[in-house]
Amino acid sequence: MEYGKVTEKILNDLIAICGAAHVISSRELLENYSHDYTEDLKYYPEVAVKPVTAVEISKIMLLCNKHHIPATPRGAGTGLSGGALPVFGGIIISMERFNKIFEIDEWNLQATVEPGVINQVFQDAIMEKVCFIP
Ligand SMILES: Cc1cc2nc3c(=O)[nH]c(=O)nc-3n(C[C@H](O)[C@H](O)[C@H](O)COP(=O)(O)OP(=O)(O)OC[C@H]3O[C@@H](n4cnc5c(N)ncnc54)[C@H](O)[C@@H]3O)c2cc1C
């Protein structure tokens, strides 16, 4: 299957959506997004973006769909099965700014968090309520 490439125009569209500080296109900084914890595998994305709202993600996905660009969501990149690897290049959508804990309901043992919350941060927060994740 043929995929589209991230052109200068698309890069500028991404900057308009997320802000320049949250669009990474330098090879050096993209290294961080080229691998997860799967051993010895490395695939560079063309660009990594760090949205902070669902609306921004929606706009990014519309852009990817329109230009047929692969999009790979990424949390902390600790997966051991290569799911966060951008094997076809394209755009990494990093969820690192989605880091809010909305609610911890200790009576029902349920929590509502955003997908970029770091495990240890969550662990520390629930410890305050005398809970833990095994
Ligand atoms: C040393 C070590 C120990 C570990 N121990 C355990 C353990 O004890 N138990 C355990 O269960 N796991 C363990 N893991 C595995 C790893 O921690 C989990 O797979 C982790 O939950 C992945 O989270 P992540 O945010 O890093 O996801 P990533 O690696 O970034 O992504 C994992 C997959 O989810 C997709 N994804 C990420 N965010 C989103 C999103 N918001 N929406 C849709 N898709 C998304 C990615 O595209 C990818 O396919 C361990 C890993 C390491 C390195």
- Note the pLDDT tens digit of each residue in 6-61: 999 999 999 999 999 999 999 999 999 999 999 889 999 999 999 999 999 999 99
Tell me: pLDDT of 130 over 80: no
Question: Looking at residues 113-119, what average pLDDT do you find?
Answer: 94
- For the whole model, what pTM was predicted? 0.93
Fold for the domain defined by 8-94: 3.30.43
- Please tell me the distance between residue 82's alpha carbon and the centre of ligand 1 in angstroms: 9
DSSP string of the chain, one letter each residue:
-------HHHHHHHHHHH-GGGEE--HHHHGGGS--SSTT-----SEEE---SHHHHHHHHHHHHHHT--EEEESSS--SSSTT--TT-SEEEE-TT---EEEEETTTTEEEE-TT--HHHHHHHHHTTT----
CB 39 within 8 A of CB 81: no
- Please tell me the distance between residue 79's alpha carbon and the centre of ligand 1 in angstroms: 4
In the chain, CATH 3.30.43.10 covers 8-94
Residues whose beta carbon lies within 6 Å of some atom of ligand 1: 36-37, 72-80, 83-84, 95, 115
Look up tokens 């990817």; give the residue: 64
Tell me: pLDDT of 1 over 80: no
Closest Cα to atom 53, ligand 1: which residue?
A: 78
- Give me the chain's average pLDDT, please: 95
Name the residue of 78, 87, 97 to mutate for ligand 1: max ligand atoms within 8 A of Cβ.
78
